[in-house]
Amino acid sequence: MPDPSSAVAYVFGYASLVGLREPLLVDGVEHAPVPGRLHGYRRRWGAAMNNWEGGDAVKHFLDRETGERPRIRVAYLDLEPGGAEAINGLALPTDAARLVTLDAREVNYIRVDVTAAFEPAIPHRVFTYVGTEAARERCHQGAADGDIFVSRDYAAGVRRAFERLGPDALTEFDRTTDPLPFPERDLRMVLPGRAVT
């Protein structure tokens, strides 16, 4: 992890984080997001959360049609080492405060240093988030139990983010991402302290 006093690092987004395109102002200098590729990885649907855990104080999903909180697992994109593969995405500038916010957002992931794998080379450390062992086990168990779904909003939002990234970005996303292995479900995400979306 970077020294909290360090000015700038980057976080490589390969799924929903690509939709966060904010620049960062540090000491009067604006740092812009950097489109790029991460070598040695492939995107897969490999992390999940248990929608029934944690009560109303944690992120969860409601079924749009019934308004109920279904007892399901919800899957997300993850990274898997992929040999010669390279995946596209967007490296977001961060400082210590933004890293804290992102770490809290990515509760099913851990942050890892991927500076050497990011192209183009930039004079800052680059991190990304990979699924925790627990999140990957939940995904595996959900596949075995048949109770795992992907939020339709999440899947569509990721695709919209890559459409905005560049003219061929969505095509490259599809080429470097495992096909969706779970059914989509129309879910509304609820975040503590925020309106239902």
The range of the structural domain enclosing residue 113 comes to: 9-190
User: Is residue 197 domain-resident?
Assistant: no
Q: Give percent of the chain with pLDDT exceeding 70.
A: 94
Tell me if 196 is assigned to some domain: no
pLDDT at 3 over 50: no
**CA 63, 67, 68, 69: dihedral to nearest 10 degrees?**
50
pLDDT in tens, 13-64: 999 999 998 888 877 889 999 999 999 999 999 999 999 998 888 999 999 9
- What does the pLDDT look like over 70-109, one tens digit per residue? 999 999 999 998 877 899 999 999 999 999 999 998 999 9
State the CATH number of the domain containing residue 59. Answer: 3.10.490.10
Q: CB of 124 within 8 A of CB of 33?
A: no
15 lies in some domain? yes
pLDDT at 111: 97
Could you tell me the two tokens for 91?
A: 């490296």
Q: How many domains are there within the chain?
A: 1
Residue 106 lies in a domain: yes
**Phi, psi dihedrals of residue 105, rounded to the nearest 5°:** -65, -40
Q: What is the pTM of this model?
A: 0.90
Residue 4 located in a structural domain: no
134-154 burial, b for 16+ CB within 10 Å, e for fewer? ebbebbeebbeeebbbbbebb
